[in-house]
Structure 1
Amino acid sequence: MAKAALALSTLLLISGCAQHSNGTASGAPDSGASTEQNQPHHQETDQWVGRWIGVEGLFLEISKDDSAGPGHYLLHMRYGLDADQSGTFEGQATAEGIRFNRGGGPQLLSAGDGEATGMKWLLEKEDCLVVATGEGYCRD
């Protein structure tokens, strides 16, 4: 019984020290590392600023959200044919692309080509942004 209590105490002490010594392990982000990690992401996604064309009148316009800071964007889009399938959404650069929330929850806008859009009308395009198969926007 004493050995079990000693082993448990040692385990708790070790796990407590490990969490305390590493701020990111405890869930508290390191502000310096966060800034450095976002820097390359927004440099890539800054190149996406402008108008992208989908099919049947669908479009995506990306602009920088200067009030929110580097790596933040406003996504003005018409993403469906129904009247309620358009709007402006706030996005943030990540390693994978631009994350934003729309209707059904979190979405990711990522770079791809016409084939990645899954739409035959965009198949030959090479410079595209894709939300999901069946929703993509391209530049000529």
Structure 2
Amino acid sequence: MIKKALALSAMILISGCNDSDTTASNAPASSTSTEQSTSHKVTDQWVGSWIGVEGLVLEISKDESADPGHYLLEMQYGLDADQSGTFEGQATDEGIRFSRDDGSQLLRAGDGEATGLKWLAEKEDCLVVQPGEGYCRD
């Protein structure tokens, strides 16, 4: 009788361990989804108008036809008329990734100095695509 009780106790303990292992293996999946949702929480704050130099502008809006973390970037990014357009972007841990005619780009947070533009050097709330291309808010 004691042997049966010990065997039954051991089986219960083992099955309890298996359940906790299953729970532990599911934990990273939930943290991954948390990371994805936090990426767009930061970039959601970027929605709105941003001003560059010499007529460069950026307007960020949420892409309502897509999942959270997807954006439409309407921008004049150069002085030529063909250096403008609306581009689809997606939130990442680093910023908003998008593609345009000059290749894959990353829009990331920075300050005026990070833009590399002396006219924006004193600004604190900016978004930078690359040195020489940045947009700020006052």
- Give the TM-score, by structure 2 length: 0.77
Gaps of 5+ in 2: 1-27
Partner residue of 1:90? 88
Give the number of equivalent residue pairs.
111
The runs of at least 4 consecutive aligned structure 1 residues that moved more than 3 Å come to 30-35
What is the 5 A alignment of 1:1-140? 35-140=33-138
Secondary structure of 1:67's counterpart equals coil
Q: Secondary structure at the match of 2:45?
A: helix
> Aligned partners of 1:64, 1:31: CA distance in 2, in Å?
26
Q: Deviations over 1:59-110 (max 9, x none)?
A: 0000000111100000000000101000000000000000000112210000
CA distance in 2, matches of 1:123, 1:66: 34
How far apart are the structure 2 equivalents of 1:74 and 1:100? 9
Find the aligned partners of 1:124 and 1:108 in 2 and give their Cα distance. 22
Shift of 1:35: 3.2
In structure 1, what is the Cα distance between the partners aligned to 2:65 and 2:29?
19
Measure how far apart 1:37 and its partner are.
2.4
Unaligned regions of 5+ residues in structure 1, if any? 1-29
Structure with greater Cα Rg: 2
User: TM (normalized to structure 1)?
Assistant: 0.76
